[in-house]
Amino acid sequence: MEPIRLGMVGGGQGAFIGGVHRIAARLDGAFSLVAGALSSDPVRAQASATELGIARSYADFRQMAQREARRADGIEAVAIVTPNHMHAGPAIEFLKRGIHVICDKPLTATMAEAKKLAKAAESANALFILTHNYTGYPLIRQARAMVARGDLGAIRLVQVEYVQDWLTQEVRHKQAEWRTDPARSGLGGALGDIGTHAYNLAAFVAGVEPEQLAADTSSFVPGRALDDNAHVMLRYAGGAKGMLWASQVAPGHENGLRLRIYGDKGGLDWGQENPNQLWFTPFGEPKRLLTRNAAGAGPEAQRVSRIPGGHPEGYLEAFATIYTEAARAIWAHQAGLPAPEGVIYPTLADGLKGMRFVEACVQSARRNSGWVTL
Amino acid sequence: MEPIRLGMVGGGQGAFIGGVHRIAARLDGAFSLVAGALSSDPVRAQASATELGIARSYADFRQMAQREARRADGIEAVAIVTPNHMHAGPAIEFLKRGIHVICDKPLTATMAEAKKLAKAAESANALFILTHNYTGYPLIRQARAMVARGDLGAIRLVQVEYVQDWLTQEVRHKQAEWRTDPARSGLGGALGDIGTHAYNLAAFVAGVEPEQLAADTSSFVPGRALDDNAHVMLRYAGGAKGMLWASQVAPGHENGLRLRIYGDKGGLDWGQENPNQLWFTPFGEPKRLLTRNAAGAGPEAQRVSRIPGGHPEGYLEAFATIYTEAARAIWAHQAGLPAPEGVIYPTLADGLKGMRFVEACVQSARRNSGWVTL
Amino acid sequence: MEPIRLGMVGGGQGAFIGGVHRIAARLDGAFSLVAGALSSDPVRAQASATELGIARSYADFRQMAQREARRADGIEAVAIVTPNHMHAGPAIEFLKRGIHVICDKPLTATMAEAKKLAKAAESANALFILTHNYTGYPLIRQARAMVARGDLGAIRLVQVEYVQDWLTQEVRHKQAEWRTDPARSGLGGALGDIGTHAYNLAAFVAGVEPEQLAADTSSFVPGRALDDNAHVMLRYAGGAKGMLWASQVAPGHENGLRLRIYGDKGGLDWGQENPNQLWFTPFGEPKRLLTRNAAGAGPEAQRVSRIPGGHPEGYLEAFATIYTEAARAIWAHQAGLPAPEGVIYPTLADGLKGMRFVEACVQSARRNSGWVTL
Amino acid sequence: MEPIRLGMVGGGQGAFIGGVHRIAARLDGAFSLVAGALSSDPVRAQASATELGIARSYADFRQMAQREARRADGIEAVAIVTPNHMHAGPAIEFLKRGIHVICDKPLTATMAEAKKLAKAAESANALFILTHNYTGYPLIRQARAMVARGDLGAIRLVQVEYVQDWLTQEVRHKQAEWRTDPARSGLGGALGDIGTHAYNLAAFVAGVEPEQLAADTSSFVPGRALDDNAHVMLRYAGGAKGMLWASQVAPGHENGLRLRIYGDKGGLDWGQENPNQLWFTPFGEPKRLLTRNAAGAGPEAQRVSRIPGGHPEGYLEAFATIYTEAARAIWAHQAGLPAPEGVIYPTLADGLKGMRFVEACVQSARRNSGWVTL
C-alpha cells in the first residue's frame, strides 16, 4: 500500500506529543507527513514546518483543511495534537471534508464539544481515531484476548493506576501550563490527562465498562485549579469492582500506568514502564512471565510485534501501532471495505466514555464521593 | 536478662499462627515457653503440649491463669493465639492477675469485647502487646523514622494494599473456616484478617490516622458470609488522602502487603514479600534502594536487625522483634522502669483503632460507601 | 537536513535484520530508502522491493553500485544486511564509489576479508559504520560517560554476558542455518553473532580493550559445527579483569545482554531487556536507579533520547540512533566538515577488534584455554 | 525429642557468625546452648558467656572438651565458629570424645589440617556437620530435586557467582582482618570465604562436581595478601561447563550469591538476596516463578519450610535448617539409627572438596590459569 498523505495540526516547536505522533506515523512507513498547521502563531508554524521538512505549511487549520481538500494530492488524514480545547474545531473541519482524523486524547475539553464532534463524525465519510496509545502495546492486546477467552474466569477485580510525579511541585513550563488550565484542559487535570488513559486501558482489557463510580479528587499544589490526584472506586454490572488511582504528585513515578485484573480463575499484571512483560497467574499455579512475541505470546500480541522477544519494544512502537492500525482501516475504507479482521483502534465512542468518566468523577467529588452512574 | 516465662493459649496441633509465635518468642532467647492451654479440646491440648515439650499443660485458659498466678515460677507473660472471639476472655483473665498479655490481632471479634478488654487493661498491672507483626520489619521502622523527620515533606498520599489469593475459591480447611465465620471472626473477613494489618501499618509509618473513610466491600465467593475484598478511600486531617485495598481473592498474590507513601518532597515504597528493600525517591532525584542494615539504613532499622545487609531477614524475624520489644518492655516493667528508649510495640490502643476501622468500613459499605468518621 | 538516499543489500522476504534496519533508518526521518538489491535471488529481490515500495530494485549489489553511482539522485549510503560472508564484497564495491556503508556485524566472515575491507575503507572517500546497535542505548551512552569521568574510580572488573536460548535444540530455519554454518558465519557461532556485541559493548563502556583472553568454547547441540557457548576470561592492562559469557543454549534467556562494571569507587549494572534503567552504586551508598531521560540522566543520554523518562524506548530506537548518528556524520562529511561533537558510531576499527576477539577465542580454545594476546 | 545440649567454641563479643549459629541452633528448638569456650581470651570468654546466659564457661576448648565429656549432662554437640585456622584443633578434640561437631566453613586453613581432621572424623563415633548454610534454603532443596529428576534435562551449564563489596577498599575491623590474613584464613581470601560457598552450592544443586578448573585470581586492594576476586572456568565430566565468580570488591553487591543452571530442557535461576523465589523455564515455555512453600513448591522445599509462601523466610531460617537437619541426624545416631530419609546436611567430604577447590584455584592461578584437575 502507498503511504497515506498526512497533515498535522499543532505539534510545532516546543511541543512534546507532536514529535511522538510524527515518529509513530513514520515508524512503519504507513504515513507520509506532507502538510501542517503546526502552530497558532504563523511564524512559528512556518519555522517548525521548515525545520521538519514539511512541504506545505499553513497559517491555520481551516486554511489547511480547505486547500488540502481541493488538491488532488491533498492529505488523506490529519493528526490533531493540540491542547484539549483545540481538538473539536479542527476535527470537525477535516471530517466534514472526508479527511480522516487521528486525534490526541482526551476527546475534547468539554462534553458539549464532544457531542458536537460526535455528531460531525457520525455524518462524515471519514474515520475518527483517538490515540489511546497504550492499547497498542502487544501484551495489552494479549491481555485483552486472554480475558475475552476466559483465561481469568469471571472478572471480579480491576485495579488500575496511572501515577506520575512531574507536577509534585509548581511547574510553569508549556507542558504543565495548559494541562493545569481549565480553559484549555477542561474539567479534569490528572483525570483528563492520564486518568482517561487508565480508564480506557482498563475497559479495553477487561472488555467491560463500569456502571458506577465514586471519586475523591484533590489539588495538592497550592493554587492549582484542576485535580492533581484522584481516587476512584468502580462498580461493574454483575458485581465486579475496581479501583482507579490517577496522580501527578507521587514522587518516584515517572509514567506508572499499571493494570491488574483478577477473575475467579486467574490474575494478570502489566506495567507500562516494562511493557514487554505480562504476569499471568492461573489460580493455584506458579506465576508465569509472558513476554512479547516470545514463549506464551498469542497471535494478538504477535500481530502487532515487530521484532522477536527479548528485543524490547516501547512507547513509540505502541503509538506507531495505533497509527498503523489506523492506516489499515483507512486503506480498507478507501477501497470500500470494512477494516481487516483483527484491526483495533480507539474510536470516538471511547473518547465519549473518557469524557463521561472525567465528568462523573468531578460530579462524584462534588457530591462528597457519592456514587455516580456512568 | 533472664528469659521471660511464657504461657500460650491456643496454638495446638493444626494451628498456623501458634507455631509462628513460638518461633518468634524463642528466636532471640527472650522467652521460655513453659505452660500452655493449647486447645479447647483437652486431649488435643495435652497431646500438643507433649509434642512441643511444654512442661505444664492445662485443660483451659482459666485453669492456667489461676494456677500459674499462684506459682513462684509461674508464667510472667502469656501469648493468646486463638481465633478472634477467643481473645478478650483469656486476655482479661491474665491481665487481672498481672500476667502480661501478647495477643494476636485483630483485638477481638466485637467492639463490645474490645471495650471490655480495654477497661481491664487500663486497670491491670501488666502490659498488653498486640502482634501487628509487620511493624517489626527493620525497614518499616526506618520508613517511619524517615517520615517523622520530614524526608518526604508534608504527607499527601498513603496507598496501602494487602492482597492474597488463598480464598479465591471456596476453602474448607481449619484456617479458612474460622476466618470466614462471623461468630468467630466478627464483622470483618478480609477486613479483619488482613485489612487491620494494612491499616495499622499505614498509620504506623505515616504517623497519623485517617479521619474518615468510605468503603465498598464484597463477598465474591458464593455463600461467603464475610467480606473477601474491600476497597477503601481514606481522608486525613490536613488534606492528605489514601486508598486501602484488602483482598483474599486476587490470584497471583500470596501475602502482598505493600505500602507507598508520598509527600511534597519524596516518596517511599515497601513490600512485605521482599522486606529487605525500601525504595526512597527524593523528588527530582534518582530512586534509591535502601537495604536493611546496609548502606542507607538508619539507626531505627539497625536497632532491630540481627545480621548484615544482603543476608535476608524475613517474617519470623520481624515477628520475633515484636516479642523481643515486648520482652524489653516487660523487663523494664518488672524493674519499675519505663520501657527503654526506642522500644516500640503495638498496644491496645492500636487494637481499638483496628476494630474501629473494621466497624467503620462495614458502616460505610452499608451506607453505600458514604464517608464515616473514625 | 534532507533525508539521505539509502540503498539496501540483503534484507528481502524472510530476513529479520533487514526489517530492523529499515525501521531504524526511517524512525528519525534521516534516511529515505530508494534502492535495493534485496536478495541474491532476482525474483525474490524484485518481489521484496515491490512489497516494500522501494523504487529501484536491482538483481545484484554490483549492478546497484554501478548504476546508482551514475545517477544524480543515486543513493548516498547503503545498508548491508546480508550474512557475514557477504559483507566485504558489497562494502568494498560501494566504498570505492564514494557511497557510505552501514554494515551489519560482525565485520566479515574471515579475518582476510576484514583486512581487505579495512584497506578499501582507508582509501575511500566514504564513511563506514558498523551497526553495533547496543551502543545506541541512551543509558549505555550514560554509562560510558560515567566511567570516563571517573564515577566508578579506577576500573577493576568488567563482567559481560550475552545469553540466549533459541539454539538450545537443533533448529533448521533460515536464521539458524547460516548462523551455524562456518561457510557463511566464519570462525564464530555464538562468538560471532552475539559475543562480538558483548565484547564491543564492554569496551565501549569501559573505554578500554582487554589485552589478553582465555576461552573455553563448546558446541552443545550434537552436529553443530560452530560454538554455541563460550566462556572467556579477560585481562586488561593495569590489572583489571573480566569475564565474558556468550551462549545460545541457556533456556530462559531471550536476549540477555548484561554488562556490569566495577571500579574502586562504584559499580554499574545494565541489562538490555530493560534498557531504560541503569543501576549505579557509589561504594558505601545506597543503590541508585538511573532512568533514561529522567532524574539522574546526563547529557549524553538525553542527547540520544526521544521521549521523557517513564516512556520506554527500546531496541528499535537504539538501532535508529546508530543510523541517525551515521546521518549526522554523513551530512557533515558531505559538507566537508568533521562529525559534530558528541556524535558516536561504531567504526571499521571496532569491527576489526571484534574479528580479532573471535579469532583469539578460537585460538585460545584450541590451546586448551591458554591466554592469547589481542 | 529433647533439645540437644550444645557447646560453642568461639563466637564471643565482637564476633558475627557466632550469633548466627546461636539463633540457628535455637530457632527450631532443637538445641540448648549450655557451655562455651567463647574466646581465646579467658576474660572475654567469661564476659561473653555471662552476657549470653550460658551456664558453663571455659577458658579454652580443650578444657571444655575434657570436662563436658565427663559430665552426665555434658554437651552432646559443639559448634565451632572460630577463624579457619582454629577449626581442626577443636573439631578433633571433640570428635575423639564422641561429641558431634557442627563446624563453620571452610573446613580448615590448610589441606594438611583438613586431612588430619578427616582422619579423626572417620574413626570417631560422632557426626561432623559443616555449615554450608545456603544448602538449607528451601528453594535450593527444590532446585536440587528438580535437577535430579531431570526437569532440566542433561545439564550443560553451571553459572555461579558470589559477589560482595565490603572489601572494596582497605578495611581494618576484626571481621576483615582475619579473612585477609593467610595465617588465619589459609590459601584463599574471597575464594575461601565465599568461593567455597558458591562451589558447594553449585555442586549441591547440579548433583555433580567439576573435574577441572582454570582460575585467574586478583588482589585488587594494595597490600592485600589474599585474593579478593577470582574468575574460574569449570569443566565437568560429560562436557558440561561452568563459570564461577567470587568477589569482595564489586560495589553494589551485599551478599550476591546467585546460581543459574541450564540443561537441554530447561533452566533455573536463584539468588540468595531474594531466596523465596526460584525461576524455572522449561525450554520453549514462559518463565515460571516458583515460590517457597506455595504453588509449584515440591515436597523437598516444603519439608524445610516453616511458614506459608508469601511470608519470607531468610538467611537465619536456612541456617537453622542446617542445625535442625543436624539434630535429626544426631537424634537418629543416638538411637543407633541412620539419619531419617530426606535429611541432608553438608559433611566433611564437602569440606574436603571445598579445600581442594581453593587449592586448585591457587594452583591454576600460579600456572597462568592452566587447567587443574580436581
Question: What is the nearest CA distance from C265 to chain B, expressed in angstroms?
Answer: 14
Q: Which chains touch A (3 or more CB pairs under 8 A)?
A: B, C, D
Q: In one letter, which amino acid is A67?
A: R
Q: What is the pLDDT of residue A333?
A: 98
Minimal Cα–Cα distance from D72 to chain B, Å? 21
Structural element, H or E, at residue D70: helix D61-70
| CB of C313 less than 8 A from some CB of A | yes
Q: Output b/e per residue, D4-19; b: 16+ Cβ within 10 A.
A: bbbbbbbbbeebebbe
Cα distances (angstroms) measured from residue D212 to each of A369, D235, D242, D356: 70, 5, 10, 11
Please judge whether B371 and A370 are an interchain contact, meaning their C-beta atoms are less than 8 angstroms apart: no
Chain C residue numbers touching A22 (CB-CB < 8 A): 29
The span from the CA of A91 to the CA of A109, in Å, is 13
Calpha distance D317→D323 (Å, rounded): 10
- Check: CB of residue A354 under 8 Å from CB of residue A117: no
D286 in B contact zone (CB under 8 Å)? no
Range of weakest confidence among B341-345, D177-181, D235-239, D313-317 = D177-181
Residues of chain C contacting D370 with CB distance shorter than 8 Å: 370
- Please state, rounded to an integer, the average pLDDT across all residues of chain A: 96
Tell me how far apart the alpha carbons of residues D162 and D200 are, in angstroms, rounded to a whole number: 11
Find, among B293, A308, B123, the residue nearest to D16 by Cα: B293
Could D262 and C269 be called an inter-chain contact, meaning their C-beta atoms sit closer than 8 Å? no
Contact status of A371 with chain B (Cβ, < 8 Å):
yes
Determine what percent of chain C falls in helix, strand and coil, rounding each to the nearest 5: 40, 20, 40
Q: pLDDT at residue B16 above 90? A: no
CA distance C186 to B23: 62
Neighbours of B320 (CB within 10 A): 29
Helix C111-123 and helix C88-95, axial crossing angle in degrees, nearest 10? 10
**C-alpha dihedral sign at B340, B344, B345, B347:** positive
Can you tell me the distance from the alpha carbon of D222 to that of C251, in angstroms, rounded to the nearest whole number? Answer: 40
**Cβ proximity of D77 and D124 under 8 Å:** no
Per-residue pLDDT reduced to its tens digit, A215-257:
999 999 999 999 999 999 999 998 999 999 999 999 999 999 9
Q: Give dist(CA D63, CA D66) in Å, integer.
A: 5
From the list A284, A287, A296, which residue is nearest D289 (CB)?
A287
pLDDT reported for residue A53? 93
Contacts of B263 in chain A (CB under 8 A): 251
Cis amide bond preceding C106, omega within 30: yes
Per-residue confidence band for A13, with pLDDT thresholds at 50, 70 and 90: confident
- Burial grade of A22 (CB within 10 A; 0-12, 13-18, 19 or more): buried
User: Which residue does chain A place closest to D293, by CA atoms?
Assistant: A286
Where does the pLDDT of residue A15 fall: very low under 50, low under 70, confident under 90, or very high at 90 and above?
confident
Q: Are strands C77-80 and C4-9 parallel, antiparallel or unpaired?
A: parallel
Largest CA distance in chain A: 63
CB contact under 8 A, D288 and A287: yes
Query: Cα–Cα distances in Å, from C313 out to A275, C136, C304, C308, C316?
Result: 10, 11, 11, 9, 8
Per DSSP, the residues of D235-260 read E-GGG-EEEEEEES--TT-SSEEEEE
Contacts of C152 in chain D (CB under 8 A): 251
Beta strands in B135-209 (DSSP E): 155-163
Average pLDDT over residues B356-372: 98
Compute the average pLDDT of residues A4-9.
98
Look at the alpha carbons of C134, C139, C141, C145 in this order and tell me if their dihedral is positive or negative.
Answer: negative
- At B72 the pLDDT is 97
Checking if the pLDDT of D331 tops 90, the result is yes
Residue D96 cell numbers, joined: 575423639
> Is beta strand D277-282 parallel, antiparallel or unpaired with respect to D128-130?
unpaired
Residue of A155, A158, A168, A279 for testing the chain B interface, max B β-carbons within 10 Å: A168
Q: If residue A200 lies in a helix (H) or strand (E), which one and from where to where?
A: helix A196-206
Closest CA to D113 of D132, D81, D85, D93: D85
Substitution target in C231, C254, C285 with the highest count of D β-carbons within 10 Å is C231
Please state, in angstroms and rounded to a whole number, the distance separating the CA atoms of residues B82 and B17.
9
Average pLDDT over chain D reads 96
- The closest CB to that of B371, out of A159, A168, A369, belongs to A369
Cβ proximity of A236 and A242 under 8 Å: yes
pLDDT of residue D176: 83
Which of B289, B290, B293 should be substituted to probe chain C, the one whose Cβ sees the most C Cβ atoms within 10 Å? B289
- For D172-184, the pLDDT digits (tens) are 887 788 888 899 8
pLDDT score, position C106: 95
Nearest CA in chain D to C156: D220
Cβ neighbors of D27 (< 8 A, separation 6 or more) are: B23, B26, B27, B316, D316, D317, D320, D323, D324
Residue tagged 502552530 (cell numbers)? A39
Minimal CA separation from B93 to chain D, in Å: 29
Residue B103, C-alpha cell as written in the block: 495477643
pLDDT digits (tens, 9 = 90+) for A82-123: 999 999 999 999 999 999 999 999 999 999 999 999 999 999
Classified as helix, coil or strand, B266 is: strand
* Cβ atoms of B311 and D315 closer than 8 Å: yes
The strand pairing partners of A283, in sequence order, are: none
Q: Using H for helix, E for strand and C for coil, what is the string for B189-216?
A: CHHHHHHHHHHHHHHHHHCCCCCEEEEE
Q: Which chains touch C (3 or more CB pairs under 8 A)?
A: A, B, D
Q: What is the pLDDT of residue D253?
A: 98
High-pLDDT (> 70) share of chain C, %: 100
DSSP assignment of D23-62, as one string? HHHHHTS-EEEEEEE--SSHHHHHHHHHHHT-SEE-SSHH
Residue contact A29–C28, C-beta within 8 A: no
C62 neighbors C69 (Cβ within 8 angstroms): no
**Nearest CA of chain B to the CA of C24: how many Å?**
30
Q: What is the pLDDT of residue A330?
A: 98
Q: Could you tell me if C35 and C11 are in contact, meaning their C-beta atoms sit under 8 angstroms apart?
A: no
What are D117's three cell numbers?
581432621
| pTM more than 0.95 | yes
Q: What is the pLDDT of residues D206-236, one digit of tens each?
A: 999 999 999 999 999 999 999 999 999 999 9
In angstroms, the CA D363 to CA D147 distance is 31
- Give D33's strand partners: D6
Name the pairing type of β-strands A277-282 and A212-218: unpaired
Answer yes or no: do C272 and A16 touch at CB < 8 A. no
Q: Which residue has the cell 521484496?
A: C48
The 10s digit of each residue's pLDDT in A293-322 is 998 899 999 999 999 999 999 999 999 999
Q: Is B310 on the interface with D (CB under 8 A)?
A: yes
Q: What is the largest CA-CA distance in chain C?
A: 63
Q: Taking CB atoms and an 8 Å limit, are C254 and A309 in contact across chains?
A: yes
Contact criterion met (CB < 8 Å) for B291 and D20:
no
Which pLDDT value is given to residue D175? 79
Report residue A180's pLDDT band, with 50, 70 and 90 as the boundaries.
Answer: confident
C-alpha distance from C204 to closest chain B C-alpha (Å) = 24
Q: Is D186 helix (H, G, I), strand (E, B) or coil?
A: coil
For residues A348 and A122, give the distance between their C-alpha atoms in angstroms, rounded to a whole number.
9
Cell of C212: 589478553
Residue ranges of E strands in A248-328:
256-263, 266-271, 277-282, 287-291
Q: Do C249 and D156 touch (CB under 8 A)?
A: yes
Interface membership of B296 toward C (CB under 8 Å): yes
Mean pLDDT of chain C: 96
SS3 C231: strand
Is the Cβ of D296 closer than 8 Å to some Cβ of chain A? yes
User: Is some CB atom of chain D closer than 8 A to the CB atom of B274?
Assistant: yes
Residues of A in contact with D280 (CB under 8 A): 286
Percentage of chain B with pLDDT > 70?
Answer: 100
Residue D15 has pLDDT above 90, yes or no: no
Q: How confident is the model at residue C13 (pLDDT cuts 50, 70, 90)?
A: confident
> What separation in angstroms does the CA of D247 have from each of A7, C242, D353?
58, 12, 20
Taking the Cβ of residue B28 and every Cβ of chain D, the question of whether any pair is shorter than 8 Å is answered with yes
CB of C236 within 8 Å of a chain D CB? The answer is no
Chain D residues within an 8 Å CB radius of C238: none
- Asked if C43 and C14 count as a contact pair (C-beta separation under 8 A), the reply is no
The full set of domains in chain D, from first to last, is 4-126 (3.40.50.720), 137-307+353-373 (3.30.360.10)
